[in-house]
Chain A
Amino acid sequence: MTGVSAAEPRAPASTAAAAEAGGAAPRALRNRRRWLRPTLLVLPAVIPVAFVVIGGVGTTLLQSLGLMPLVGAAELSTAAFDDTDELLTSALLSLSIAVVSTAIAAVVGFFTAVLIISGNVGGRIVGALGAAAVTVPHLVGAATVGLLLSDSGVLARIFGVSPEAWPALVAGPTWFAVIAEYAWKESAFVALIIVGTLATRITSYDETAAVLGAHRSARLRLVLFPLAAPSLLVASAIAFAYTLGSYEVAWMLGQTYPEPLSVMALRLFNSASLTARPEAAAIGVITVALTAAVIAVAMLGLRRMRAWR
């Protein structure tokens, strides 16, 4: 977006200058060409993104403000945002699930990456398992975790525990199964992203540090972690945004009440009453705002990182 808007205003100004002072024409033209190329190159990426972001988020915003009703006249209203108590509970629940599962995924993902980078047999097995875990859709993952952890699930049967005695991991008050599913899937994602960054740079730095006498823990703290930190942050931000926005895992493995924002939005969107659509859109807007805020903080953090600069 910025690429386009920054490029366009300059072009008319420089052509005007060229028309006035004929001698400067070749330079102005070159100047213009210099802007044209990157603009054209970036357009295939910018257009679909803008289409989705402006079109999708814009439509959601219009619906949430009552400007896009299914029936009746459009009327500007913030009524869809009114149920603050329930929205607040849901937002806090969504944030808690996303924060906890992303934190676990970041820690597990980082150490998994270190293990994979180490290059021994165990690392290669973990790498293959991680790559396999990334390809499993979350819906399938949720069904699997449900079968594994539920009252009369596989684990309960293996250990011979009766359904009454088994802890309420699925649909329980701790949201254990939901967090476990996200943490498992996203840790594999985080690990693969970090491996991608580290694989090319790590050997020389690590060997240098080892030659200089750095022990394992020191190398982990002073070499591996700073090198991995930017991709760890980016991967965590993506995992967080995904966890906050997706509904299927929380819907399948979560409690009936309270609902995370995404589940509530889906329930309202599918509700039989036509007036519920603006409310669903309002929850969508809130989710987007929360995600954007977290991504913004992550991007600010990224700019401060030495390895990134």
Chain B
Amino acid sequence: MHTWSFSRRTTPPNATTPRRRALSVLATTAVTALALTACSAPTTTPSGPEFFDWSDVQVAADGQTVKLWMWGGDDQGNAYVDDVLAPAAAAQGVTLERVPIADTKDALNRVFTELQAGRNDDGAVDLVWINGDNFRTGKQADAWFCDWTGLLPNMSLVSDSDPLLTEDFGTPVDGCEAPWHKAQFSFVYNSATVENPPTTIDGILDWAEANPGRFTYPAAPDFTGSAFLRSVLYSESGGYENVPSTYSDEAFDELTPALLDRLEALAPSLWREGSTYPATSEQLTKLFADGEIDMMMTYGPATLTALVENGTLPDTTRVLTVDDGTLGNASFFGIPSNSGNIAGAMVVANEALSVEQQVAKADPAVWGQFTVLDLDALSAADRELFDALPQSPVVPSFDILSRNASPELSAEWVPAIDEAWRTRIAAGQ
């Protein structure tokens, strides 16, 4: 394209005919576009404002409006942010606006596009609910404001040695995101139809083969489907200890054949004989709700209590605790480097880490998300607040659910496994 345009530009100007003229207009456009793109790839790390201490941040934050981009598919999460977190932020002088999105990648793409277009200090995104590969991709592209979490007073309530909070899917957090809550990958079954639930991940696959058509999982790269693939990879490899968390081609070539063989063998026993898969975890939940399958999975067990209560899921819905443990992760708040309300975003992230907010959010009636605070380090009175939370009849407490929890693989593993699954299992029907 661009060599062609340059050669056209050398045409003598007096040879202008309408057609030539059109070509030269096109050529000029192409050259301009090239010139614009030349300055789009950031050469230096974009840095945000500098703050000396927390009061500095508070002064700068006063009156700012923070747009929080988050997945809008969880009614309880939306209600928590609107009714609990936003008023608390308002009390600090910060207006919190929730921007619902269909996928966290939409927020990331928006930031990337703005940075590509040179919009470096008044971006549309101030705060993102994020983790895993999205965080890593943003870090690679220098899209995050970094080294800010150390300033948050409430970070003192968080353990600085908790591996779930210092690394996000193997990517060092480096102060580029503040923890928000923890999640535990969970298998869910209908106790009315599954009489003797399996107790291991391998047992779940055996159960699926013994009960054809009653089990399936979302197609990667759906977040939940992708987590299921990693769970089976751990199980087939004899535990997470045998899977190096850092990606390497050798480890991939050595470990994934067993995973793919197992899933290929499993496919004919799945819903629709594995000829297709639900595209999202919501579609999986719908199959479970409609009684088409007897077992499903979720990375957000917090939503189950309300789904059972409002009748979407049967009363007999139970979370399966597997002996070999399931994946656990934490989700975070990230601030894009081109946000114009960085101080306000920091105030919101700090407020979200307060004991009051974390207790409110952990209540199954509000949202039921597991806290990131270090309970052992809290004062007796604060601990009491967490101990007094009502128990959900569906979801076990975090210490039971996270027993033998396995860490997430580094984010590089995720697209590699997803793609292997897609080209072999999804394509192999």
The interface bits of chain B over 358-400 (1 if a CB of A lies within 8 angstroms of the residue's CB, else 0) are 0000000000000000000000000000000000000000000
Interface window among B27-35, B158-166, B295-303, B341-349: B27-35
What residues make up the interface of A, taking CB atoms closer than 8 Å to B?
A: 1-2, 5-6, 8-9, 54-55, 58-59, 61-62, 65, 67-74, 76, 151-152, 163-164, 168, 171-173, 251-252, 255-258, 267, 269-274
Chain B residues within 8 Å of A271, by CB: 221, 415
Q: Which residues B138-156 have CB closer than 8 A to chain A?
A: 140-142
B290 close to chain A: CB less than 8 A: yes
For A5, list chain B residues within 8 Å (CB): 18, 21-22, 25
A257 touches B25 (CB 8 A): no
Q: State whether A70 touches B275 (Cβ < 8 A).
A: no
Q: For the complex, give the distance between the alpha carbons of A110 and B398 in Å.
A: 61
- CA A263 to CA B219, docked complex, whole Å: 13
Chain B residues near A270: list those with CB within 8 A. Answer: 103, 105-106, 109
Cα distance A292–B376 in the bound complex, in angstroms: 65
Q: Are B411 and A272 in contact (CB under 8 A)?
A: yes
Decide: A256 and B426 in contact? CB cutoff 8 A.
Answer: yes
The answer to whether residues A251 and B279 also contact, given A68-B116, A70-B116, A71-B141 and a CB cut-off of 8 A, is yes
CB-CB under 8 A from A72, the residues of chain B are 41
**Can you name 22 A-B residue pairings with CB atoms under 8 Å?**
A62-B37, A67-B34, A68-B116, A70-B112, A71-B140, A71-B142, A74-B38, A76-B2, A152-B290, A171-B279, A172-B275, A172-B276, A267-B221, A269-B109, A270-B105, A270-B106, A271-B221, A272-B137, A272-B411, A273-B137, A273-B415, A274-B137
Choose one: A54, A76, A163, A168; the contact of B290 (CB below 8 Å).
Answer: A163
Q: Mask for B277-299, Cβ within 8 A of A = 1, else 0?
A: 10100000000001110000000
Whether B193 sits at the interface, judged by CB under 8 Å, is no
User: Is there contact, CB below 8 Å, between B33 and A62?
Assistant: yes
Specify which of B21, B34, B221, B422 is in contact with A62 (CB 8 Å cutoff).
Answer: B34
B414 closest partner in A (C-beta):
A272
Chain B interface residues toward A at CB < 8 A = 1-2, 16-18, 21-22, 25-26, 29-30, 33-34, 37-38, 40-41, 103, 105-106, 109, 112, 116, 132-134, 136-137, 140-142, 213, 219, 221, 272, 275-277, 279, 290-292, 411, 414-415, 422, 426-427, 429
Name the B residues within 8 Å of A76 (CB-CB).
2
CB pair A171–B276 under 8 Å, yes or no, is: yes
CB < 8 Å neighbour of B136 from A6, A164, A272? A272
The listed residue (A1, A172, A256, A272) touching B277 by CB distance below 8 A is: A256
| A35 and B60 alpha carbons, distance in the complex (Å) | 56
- Report the separation of the CA atoms of residues A71 and B43 in the bound assembly, to the nearest whole angstrom: 9
**C-alpha gap A5/B22 in the complex (Å):** 6
Q: Which residue of B lies closest to A73 (CB)?
A: B41
Least distance between B213 CB and chain A CB atoms (Å): 7
CB pair A255–B137 under 8 Å, yes or no, is no
Report the Cα distance A54→B109, complex, angstroms.
21
B421 shortest CB reach to chain A, Å = 10
Contact in complex: B136, A256 (CB < 8 Å): no
Closest Cβ of chain B to A68, distance in Å, is 5
A9 and B21: CB pair below 8 A?
yes
Contact A9 B41 (CB under 8 A): no
Q: In the complex the two chains form, what is the Cα distance from A270 to B222 in whole Å? A: 11
CA distance in complex: A1, B276 (Å): 46
Q: Point out the residues of chain A lying under 8 angstroms from B133, CB to CB.
A: 272
Q: Give which listed residue, A6, A9, A69, contacts B16 with CB less than 8 A.
A: A9
Complex: how many Å from CA A273 to CA B426? 20
- The interface residues of chain A lying within 8 Å CB-to-CB of B34 are 62, 67
* A137 CB to nearest chain B CB (Å): 14
**Assembly CA distance A163 to B271 (angstroms):** 11
Residues of B within 8 A of A173 (CB): 275
Seed contacts A62-B33, A71-B141, A152-B290; 5 additional CB < 8 Å A-B pairs: A68-B40, A256-B277, A270-B103, A272-B136, A272-B414
> In the complex, which of the residues A1, A62, A70 has the most CB atoms of chain B within 10 Å of its own CB atom?
A70
B18 touches A9 (CB 8 A): yes
Query: How far is it, in angstroms, between the C-alpha of A168 and the C-alpha of B429 when the chains are bound?
Result: 15
Q: Is the pair A71, B276 in contact by a Cβ cutoff of 8 Å?
A: no
Q: Which residue on A lies nearest to B423, using beta carbons?
A: A86
Q: Once bound together, how far apart are the Cα atoms of A180 and B134, in whole Å?
A: 35
* Min distance, Cβ A139 to any Cβ of chain B, angstroms: 10
Chain A residues near B26 (CB, 8 Å)?
54
Which residues on B sit within 8 Å (CB–CB) of A171? Answer: 272, 276, 279
Shortest Cβ distance from residue B26 to the other chain A in the assembled complex, whole angstroms: 8
The chain A residue sitting closest to B135, CB to CB, is: A272
Once the chains bind, are A71 and B279 in contact (CB under 8 Å)?
Answer: no
B190 → A minimal CB distance (Å): 15
CA distance A269 to B427 in the complex (A): 20
- How many angstroms from the CA of A171 to the CA of B273 in the assembled complex? 13
